[in-house]
Amino acid sequence: MRGPVPIPGIKIGASRHQVCHKAKDKDMAKIDLPKERKENWKEAMLEKMAEVLEKYRSVRLFLDICVKCEACADKCQFFLGTGDPKNMPVARADLFRKVYKRYFTLGGKIWGRANEAEELNETVLQEWIIYFYQCSECRRCSVFCPYGIDTAEITMAAREIMAAVGVATKYVTEVVAKVYDTGNNLGIWPAAWKDNCAFLEQDLKDTEGLDIKFPVDAVGAEVLLIPPSADNFVNTDTMIGYAKMFHAAGISWTTSTYCNEGGNFGLFLNYANLKKANNRIIEAARQLKVKKIYWGE
């Protein structure tokens, strides 16, 4: 498409039916989250919200300073693609903001709806599930906000709060669980990772006559390469490119079967898993005693 993306007409509820599949019990257990929605989910969500507001001051700031200028309204691709007004960044953030106002601001506690505050109830939670999972956390909207309000951070906070009470989606939790099982998002087991590397070595020899190694779990290499796992399995030209580059530069390198994923899906779930998945990179570097980490993705 050339030129500006046309702004769609408002279609109320246009993407309301697009609800992500619920997370599977086995994945929730693997990533230390409740398998089912907690019985006291409302109290637990508010408790978590208090923790988030205390810990991540930017979230409270973003909730407080929005002036509803709507400069962000037509900047989200989910709105541009659907016309659903709840996919306008300002409206997405409002789903969080109205609960915040009701329980954490004086005006909301006293004046309720008159102050744009709302009780946390089943309907509100369902809207959180729908619309906070229709944000890709791309941060495009924040570029257009005169205050720099980052709706992605509000989305992350909302997902953190939902995850704490056992509400998460299949896709994201499945991918994070795979990282703990296999070291990567695609679920490539160590033996398959090594086999793919050996295959690429042979392929390079057969097609270009080059004798270049794809080292795996090599202790003492200078560089640990953390590529997106797809480079080992699908985008193999990129993997070949890394190997050629290291070879030409005379740098010793390796990948790790413990951690071979540069894309962290913890970002789309909750802070604890974001941190845990990132820590695996550091652990792999320590295990292999490398000097540097090169991180793809």
List residues near ligand SF4 by CB under 6 A. Answer: 66-72, 75-76, 78, 89-90, 92, 135-141, 145, 147, 149, 151-152, 155
Location of structure tokens 């709105």? 79
If the CB atoms of residues 139 and 170 are measured against ligand SF4, the closer one turns out to be 139
CB contact set of 76 (below 8 Å; sequence gap of 6+): 87, 88, 89, 92, 135, 140, 141, 151
If the CB atoms of residues 78 and 242 are measured against ligand SF4, the closer one turns out to be 78
Q: Which of 277, 285, 281 is nearest to 219 (CA)?
A: 285
Task: Report, in Å, the least distance between residue 61 CB and ligand SF4.
Answer: 12
Q: How many CB atoms lie within 10 A of CB 170?
A: 14
Task: Report, in Å, the least distance between residue 36 CB and ligand SF4.
Answer: 28
Q: How many residues does the chain have?
A: 297
Q: Give the long-range contacts of residues 239-246, CB within 8 A, separation 24 or more.
A: 239/200, 239/214, 240/200, 240/203, 240/204, 242/296, 243/200, 243/204, 243/212, 243/213, 243/214, 244/210, 244/212
Q: Which residues pair with 255 in a beta bridge?
A: 216
If the CB atoms of residues 89 and 228 are measured against ligand SF4, the closer one turns out to be 89
If the CB atoms of residues 130 and 288 are measured against ligand SF4, the closer one turns out to be 130
If the CB atoms of residues 10 and 67 are measured against ligand SF4, the closer one turns out to be 67
Task: Report, in Å, the least distance between residue 158 CB and ligand SF4.
Answer: 11
Task: Report, in Å, the least distance between residue 149 CB and ligand SF4.
Answer: 4
Task: Report, in Å, the least distance between residue 58 CB and ligand SF4.
Answer: 13
If the CB atoms of residues 149 and 216 are measured against ligand SF4, the closer one turns out to be 149
Beta strands 292-295; 223-226: pairing state = parallel
Task: Report, in Å, the least distance between residue 140 CB and ligand SF4.
Answer: 4
If the CB atoms of residues 72 and 216 are measured against ligand SF4, the closer one turns out to be 72
If the CB atoms of residues 146 and 250 are measured against ligand SF4, the closer one turns out to be 146
Task: Report, in Å, the least distance between residue 263 CB and ligand SF4.
Answer: 17
Edge-to-edge strand ranges of the sheet holding 292-295 = 253-254, 223-226, 292-295
CB contact set of 26 (below 8 Å; sequence gap of 6+): 177
Task: Report, in Å, the least distance between residue 155 CB and ligand SF4.
Answer: 6
